[in-house]
């Protein structure tokens, strides 16, 4: 009898431990999630942190002037602070003219990005390694639309919280792998959108949008990926898309998938 009770207690303990881990894992994604252990907060909504940790991406179409002109604005939900992507140089959808990128560059990483689209049709984008775009675009759910791995993968479901509300992308990214300068494995990504898994360890084929879009965009039509690290980039297209609570943790995904 004693052995039976001990076995039952062990099974119950294992079950509740697994349940705890599952709940803990679920709590690590979605709006309002704090930086996980080992992550660095990159944007808290203040202009001071923006200027400290970000810079303009000076691509072929760059036409802004330092320091970064993305304004600090009032968070319409909490009354706190946020940063708007509405840089004057990006007016009219001129992507690449005033995009911002982290000063720190990465290979494999986990990132958390919170954004709020203020107006209909609001457009921006989150670029992984300043190459591969996870789209931000109100009112469009196609391959060029909201939460798509642009031009390649549709999200499994629509999880958008809507205009005027905060949304969150939680991303694990694995950079392309090279041997002796030759591409051996393409980049991969897993994405949660507002706590729902919408992309699971999908392969990213290329950089889209040409040289004005990001690193290697002008190499062999975007297929000529190189091995240099890149920062997390946020796109300016003349829209009031707000950002805050952006954090990043470097990873080493050798021999691993991006799934989490």
Statement: the pTM of the whole predicted model exceeds 0.85: yes
Residue 235 placed within a domain: yes
Q: Are strands 72-74 and 81-84 parallel, antiparallel or unpaired?
A: antiparallel
CATH value at residue 176: 2.60.120.560
92 backbone dihedrals φ, ψ, rounded to 5°: 80, 15
Query: Could you give the residue ranges of the DSSP H alpha helices within the chain?
Result: 2-26, 47-53
Cβ atoms of 172 and 189 closer than 8 Å: yes
pLDDT tens digits in sequence order for the chain, 260 residues long? 544 444 444 444 444 333 333 333 444 999 999 999 999 999 999 999 999 999 999 999 999 999 999 999 999 999 999 999 999 999 999 999 999 999 999 999 999 999 999 999 999 999 999 999 999 999 999 999 999 999 999 999 999 999 999 999 999 999 999 999 999 999 999 999 999 999 999 999 999 999 999 999 999 999 999 999 999 999 999 999 999 999 999 999 999 999 99
d(CA 207, CA 204): 8
Domain span at residue 70 reads 31-250
Residue 21 placed within a domain: no
Residue 197 placed within a domain: yes
Residue 55 placed within a domain: yes
Residue 12 placed within a domain: no
**Six token digits for residue 186:** 């393409």
Residue 190 placed within a domain: yes
Residue 15 placed within a domain: no
| Total number of domains constituting the chain | 1
Residue 24 placed within a domain: no
161 backbone dihedrals φ, ψ, rounded to 5°: -80, -15
């Amino acid at each position: 009898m004693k052995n039976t009770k001990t076995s039952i207690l062990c099974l119950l303990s294992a079950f509740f431990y697994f349940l705890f881990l599952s709940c803990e894992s679920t709590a690590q994604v979605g709006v309002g999630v704090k930086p996980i252990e080992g992550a660095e907060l990159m944007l808290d909504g203040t202009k001071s942190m923006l200027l400290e940790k970000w810079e303009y991406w000076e691509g072929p179409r760059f036409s802004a002037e330092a320091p970064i002109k993305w304004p600090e604005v009032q968070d319409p939900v909490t009354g706190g602070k946020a940063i708007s992507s509405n840089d004057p140089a990006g007016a009219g959808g001129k992507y690449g003219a005033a995009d911002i990128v982290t000063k720190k560059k990465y290979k494999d990483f986990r990132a958390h990005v919170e954004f709020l689209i203020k107006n209909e049709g609001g457009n921006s984008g989150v670029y992984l390694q300043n190459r591969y775009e996870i789209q931000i675009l109100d009112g469009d759910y196609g391959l060029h639309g909201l939460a798509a791995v642009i031009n390649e993968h549709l999200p499994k479901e629509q999880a958008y919280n809507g205009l005027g509300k905060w949304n969150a992308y939680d991303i694990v990214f694995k950079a392309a792998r090279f041997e002796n300068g030759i591409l051996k494995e393409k980049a991969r990504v897993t994405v949660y959108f507002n706590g729902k898994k919408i992309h699971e360890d999908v392969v990213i084929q290329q950089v889209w949008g040409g040289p004005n879009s990001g690193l290697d965009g002008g190499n062999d039509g975007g297929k000529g990926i190189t091995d240099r690290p890149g920062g997390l980039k946020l796109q300016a297209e003349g829209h009031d898309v707000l950002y805050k609570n952006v954090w990043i943790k470097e990873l080493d995904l050798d021999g691993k998938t991006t799934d989490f």
